[in-house]
Structure formats: C-alpha cells, structure tokens
A and B are shown apart, each in its own frame.
Chain A
Amino acid sequence: MKHLSIYFLISSLIIVPGIYSLVRYGFKPSIEFTGGTRLTIENTISSPDIILQSFEEYTPSLEDSTPNSVTLKTKNISQDTAQKAIDTLKKDNPEIKITGFESIGAALGKETIKKTISALIIASVMLLLYISFAFKQLKYGVCALIAMFHDTIVLLGSFSLLGHFFGVEIDLLFVTAVLTILSFSVHDTIVVFDRIRELSHKNKGIEYVTLVNQAVTETMVRSLNNSLTIIFMLIALFLIGGETTKFFSLALLIGTVTGTYSSTFTAAPLLIVWNNIFAKNR
C-alpha cells in the first residue's frame, strides 16, 4: 500500500468523467421510468419517416428500424389509438400490423423511481449494519460502503456516457444490475476484510499497514480468479445472449470489473486512511 494516492487517482480518472456525464447529460431513462408507449410495427413498406408522421400528435421518436419493421416510442397512448394511426397507412402498407406493444402510465414511472431509491437506501443501511456487526468495527462497514458507492458511481457514470453517445437506456433491469453489483462489490470486499481480521488475530502488534498489505496480496489471486469466472459468463451473455439482456449483462460486466478493483484498491486503502486519521486524533 505504498501507492495509496495512485490507487485513488486511478479511481478518480474513471469516476470524474462519469460524474461529469451524470451532471451534464444525466440518463436516458426508458419508458419504465418516464411513462410512454413503445411499439413495433411490422410489414412496413413506407420509410420510417412516413410511419413516424402518422404518429405526429403523440410526439414519436424512432428507436430502431429494419427494412420491413419499425420500433418507435411515443407518449403514453392506448393500443386502440396506435391501431388507428396504423390504419391510415394501410393503403401503402397493406400487411402492416403492430407486433410489439408496451405502454406505461407516467404515474407508474414515478413510482418505480421512488421504489428504486428506497431499495438502494435500505440495501446500503442493511449492508453497513451487517458488515460493521460481522467485523465488530464501524470502519469496516463504512469503508466497504464507500467502495460500494465507488462501484455504483462508476456503473451509473458509464451508463450515462453510454446513453449520451450510444443511446443506451436505463430500465428496470439496469436497476436490478446496480443492486446486484452492490452485493457483488461487498461480497468481494468482505473476503479481503476477512483476511485482515484473521491476520490481526494471528499477528498481534504488527503495524496495520503491513497487515492490510499482506491481506491484499494473499487474496489477490482468489479475487482475480473469481472475477474471471464471472466475467466469462457475462461476456458470453453479452456477446451471444438475447437482445433483451444485452445491456443488463454489460452493466453487470462493468460492475464486476470495478467491484474487483475497488475491493483491493479502494476499500483496503481506505482502511489505512481511516486508521491514519484516527491515530492522529488520539
């Protein structure tokens, strides 16, 4: 742990652009949060622009198009209304039909955001309590939690950037991914902390920095190997898995990488920083 400042610098190199993007661009929320309608129309012959025009009143935006299908987003409308808009296109597109339809009321969207935030808060508090209790010291809980927030911000920041540059949306599955990464991050951190606890029982009187150093070195291989197996799974899911879970896998992938990094290079160094601060006060 000679290079504390370097580790924190690396973290900030990733986090700062992410926070900048979060503040500047925010997210691209899916209709699950904003409310609205997404529909896929098949057997289209006219160009997507013409199809979009028939939905003019409902603030449409094009999501995706193939030579004979169009996916678009509008404000919240019923399937009846959508069908009527489609009917006006029947002349040029005799076989046209709606195949995918998804509509979500705006009220439901707001509720989802609220529920997500309460889940995050409850999860954080529970984990803080659990870790502090399991390790009998508040500093472990706090440091694990900071490492966890580090990972969350990296993940949120990357998706803010992905949203801005590639139009990737934040949906309910993303929220699930964030919560999973919270637990993965803590899972990984606990293994490192556990080693610190064990070593401190064995070698009393050794300097805390040395202890942390040794623990980190000893758990490094395990940490890497474990993350690699999860990363194998996720890369396979991301590359070959279905369209629906593609960005879900990506979110988990980013989270796994930062979760592995943060246990060793954020959580453990923070313990030392914490110790230094409180040692000075004494």
Chain B
Amino acid sequence: MTLSKPQKVFIFICAISLLSLYLVLPAKIFNFSVPRLNFKIGSLDLSQEIELKQGLDIKGGLQVTLTADMQEIKSEDRITALESLKTNIGRRIDFFGVSESGIKTAISGNDYRLILELPGISNPEQALALIGQTAKMEFALPVYIEGKTATDAATLSDFVLTDLTGADLARATATFDSSNGQPVVDIVFKDSGKAKFAKLTKENIGKQIAILLDDYPVTMPTVQVEIPDGRAQITGSNSIDEAKALAVQLNAGALPVPVSVLSQKNIPATLGADSIEKSITAGVIGLSMVVLFMIGNYGWMGLIASIGLVLYGLFTLTLYKLFSVFLSLPGIAGFLLSVGMAVDSNILVFERYKEEIRAGRTWPVALELAFGRAWDSIKDANTATIITGFILFNPLNWNFLNTSGAVRGFALTLILGILISLFTGIVVTRNLLRLFYKGKTLEIKKQKSK
C-alpha cells in the first residue's frame, strides 16, 4: 500500500504529537503513573520527567545586581578580576545550597556588574551580607595531629596564619610548564610580597603552604625550594581546565574587588504562584473564546484550526521543556499573544478560501489556492514580528540594547510562538483539511455562467 503525501505528513504529525504529549505529561497523574520510555538522546534522558523551569518572578527569590568597585584594579586586569569575582561569589552561593541559581557578568562602559538570581532565598539580607563580602585570601601553614598509631594518617586540625596575604599576590595565570608540558599555575607576587614569600619558602622547604580563600583552603602546594624572586609555579593540576579554575580562585584573592548593591528585588513566592494561576485561568478562558469564535465563524474549518491550535500549545510546551525556557509572567503573556498570531495565519487562509469559493472555484482548488496565496502575507507579516522579536531578545548581547531577563523571556516566547504557529497554522492545518475536510462548491455561480 502506498500512502499519499498528505497521509504521510499526517502520520508524521501524529508521531510528533504523541512524542510531545509524552514529554509534556507529568510522570504521575493522580494515581496513574505514565509509563516511561527507557531512551536517551545525547544528554536528554527520556525516562525522566523534564521539569518546566520557572523564572524568578514565579518561583520567588532574590535578584541582585552587584557593581564591582574596580578603582584599585589595573584596567588590563579588570576582566580577570570580574571572572574571579563571579567564581568566588558563585562558590558562596553554592554554600547556601540554592538550586538553579543564576550568575551573569555584565560590562556596561566602565561599570563591571554581576547579576545574581537566587530562587527560594528566604532571608535576603543575610544572604546579601555573606555574598557581598570582599574576598579575603591568606597564606597559612597547616597543622597536623599525628595519628594515634603509626599507620593512621595525620589529620589536618588547624592553620597558622602567616603575614603573607592576597594583597601581596599580583596575579595567577594558568599555563603549561615549558619543560614537561604539564598544566601549571604561575603565580607572581608584588614587591611587598617577595621578601615575605622568600622567607616563608625558605623556612618550610618540604612542607605544605595552604592558600585560604574566605577561610577555606583552595590549594596546599608543597614547597620544593626557596623562592627569592616572588615567582612560583603550582604543579599538580590534572588538566588545563583544573589549572584555570585554580588560577581564577587565586585571582579572587590577588584582585579583591569590593562590591555594592546596584539593584535588588525580593520576590515573595506566593505572589508568583498567585499570578501564574490567574494568568493560566485567563489563558484558558481566552483560548476557549478563540476556539468558539473560530468554530462559530468558520464551522468545520474552524474546528480543524482549533485542533491545530491545541497542537500549537502542545508543541510550545514541549519546546519550553526541551530548551529549558524559563517560564516568567511576561513569557506567559508572550505565549498567549502568539496564540492570537497563530490564529491569524488560519484566518488569512480561511478568508482567502471564502473569496476563492465566491469567485466560483471548486473547493479543493480553492483550498490549495487559499494556502498558496495567503502564504505571501503570512510570510511578510511574521518576518516583521520576528525582526522585532530578535531586537528585544538581543541574541548577540549588544550593550546598547536591552539585557533584562523579563524582556528577553517575553521575546523568546514570542519568537518560538511564531515559528511553531507557522508550522501548525500552515503544515498541520493544511494537511488535516486535505484529509478530513469536505467543502462545498458554490452552485449559484455555475448556474449563472450557463
């Protein structure tokens, strides 16, 4: 049996609809658990339910923009300092056990910023006090307690601070050792630190020196030789990435940057939950009105378009889940707006269809003509919307355009919405109509022409 092209497309549509349905459905509906497929595509594990990510405005939490005071930092070191600051503050955030926290750097002219998103923080003041500290780096000597028996390993019990601090460190760089090609971290001390470091290394040959950042040891290299010139190399990194990570942490101490709060927003979780519930109710009511309107206006065609609309909703949710689109309130508004635009493609086609029927064409011809001719308008009109969508989304992160999360969330849902609506409005609806729609050809015209 050979299938016609519409039938093939129909099977394809059914297949992706089922797959989408599977991805969108929660793992458990009341007592019934949806059977999970044991299947993986790349990093995508289909056996697990993919969660819909919620933005900060829905989940509640703390959003802070910190501005870094770079006065003390030489201009060529500022980018490095900002990266180190990011890592260091990220480490402090992890300390809170915040899941899905976001941390971004932004440079605006001479302003170096960190934008933090911390969902679910209940005590923002306390969190800010801890996160906003300036990094403190100290060099210390570890103190070990001997094991009780000779076979027991010695346990680390304390650190004895030395007079060497992060202020004496000029900078750290990850590189490869020129002699053996191993990844290493080069550290360079300032003039103030050279003598101190020389003394420290001289007295502790064969012993460890601990480098503490915010009182936690970052690394504990063993001193090989006395280093008089303030230039040392820390070996033992397993990869260049590991060396880079260490260099970033050391730079946090070498280039300490005080931060201050530029903007702050605490969002109570209840507000978001309330808003999302209302928005969803509004969406359902609005959608039902659109469906009723379409069926009332276009009859069977309207019903088929409504099926296309339901699939549109389904595909959109699937893409949100697959691409981890963060659902925010403006995002939901963008989604609902794009529903309106999705219907537009259908209306354009159906109105065109009516015209062609009035012009005396038989319905199958009219249907194909309608899709073909309406496409020009649909294409041009949607391109215009996508252009604006991209300017709002600012994909290249241009400094002179918006970088606000809320605006971007809206733009992303709008762009995705338009792309999906082109698919459901044109491909899906067209095929469903070809297969399931029986139109009427206007008879009056024919009689007239006799």
Contacts and interface: CB of A to CB of B under 8 A. Distances in A.
Interface of A: 78-80, 83, 98-105, 107-108, 111-112, 114-116, 118-119, 122-123, 126-127, 130-131, 134, 172-173, 175-176, 179-180, 182-184, 186-188, 190-191, 194-195, 198, 218-219, 221-222, 225-226, 228-230, 232-237, 239-245, 248-249, 252
Contact of B340 (A183, A230, A242): A230
A35 B65 CA distance: 13
Contacts of A225: 293, 297, 347, 351
Given A115-B400, A221-B351, A252-B337, A233 B376 contact: no
B388 A233 contact: no
A182 B263 CA distance: 29
A120 to B, nearest CB: 9
Interface stretch (B28-36, B197-205, B281-289): B281-289
Given A176-B411, A233-B340, A234-B286, 9 more contacts: A119-B401, A126-B387, A195-B377, A218-B355, A225-B297, A229-B347, A232-B293, A234-B337, A243-B275
Contact of B391 (A111, A122, A198): A122
B279 A242 contact: yes
B336 interface: yes
B384 A130 contact: yes
Interface in B279-324: 279, 281-283, 285-287, 289-290, 293-294, 297
B376 A194 contact: yes
B361 to A, nearest CB: 15
Contacts of B108: 111
A222 B263 contact: no
A80 B125 contact: yes
A193 to B, nearest CB: 8
Contacts, number: 214
A85 B166 CA distance: 37
Contact of B387 (A104, A180, A183): A183
B389 to A, nearest CB: 7
The 3 closest A-B pairs by CB, nearest first: A242-B275, A230-B340, A236-B286
B329 A122 contact: no
10 contacts: A79-B264, A118-B401, A119-B402, A176-B392, A179-B392, A233-B289, A234-B337, A236-B286, A236-B289, A240-B282
Interface string B356-390: 00000000000000000100110011111101110
B392 A119 contact: yes
B391 A226 contact: no
B331 to A, nearest CB: 10
A184 B417 CA distance: 14
A100 B330 contact: no
Interface of B: 57, 65, 67, 108, 111, 124-125, 128, 261-268, 271, 274-276, 278-279, 281-283, 285-287, 289-290, 293-294, 297, 329-330, 332-333, 336-337, 339-341, 343-344, 347-348, 351, 355, 373, 376-377, 380-385, 387-389, 391-392, 400-404, 406-407, 410-411, 414
Given A119-B391, A237-B336, A229 B406 contact: no
A208 to B, nearest CB: 20
B65 A108 contact: yes
Q: What is the interface of chain B mostly: helix, strand, loop, or mixed?
A: helix
Contacts of B407: 172-173, 175-176
Contact of B276 (A102, A222, A242): A242
B387 A233 contact: no
Given A79-B125, A103-B263, A115 B57 contact: no
Given A175-B407, A222-B347, A241-B278, A230 B337 contact: yes
B263 A180 contact: no
With most chain B CB atoms within 10 A of its CB, the pick from A116, A175, A225 is A225
A244 B281 CA distance: 15
A222 B348 contact: yes
Max count, chain A CB within 10 A of own CB: residue among B67, B124, B351 = B351
B383 A130 contact: yes
Given A187-B382, A225-B297, A240-B285, A172 B263 contact: no
A163 B404 CA distance: 24
A103 B264 contact: yes
Given A130-B384, A176-B410, A115 B401 contact: yes
Given A172-B404, A240-B282, A249 B262 contact: no
Which one of B108, B391, B407 has the greatest number of beta carbons of chain A within 10 Å?
A: B391
B377 A233 contact: no
Given A105-B262, A111-B108, A232-B286, A127 B387 contact: yes
A126 B380 contact: no
Contact of A237 (B128, B268, B333, B373): B333
Contacts of B330: 173, 176, 245, 248
Nearest to A225: B347
Contacts of B276: 242
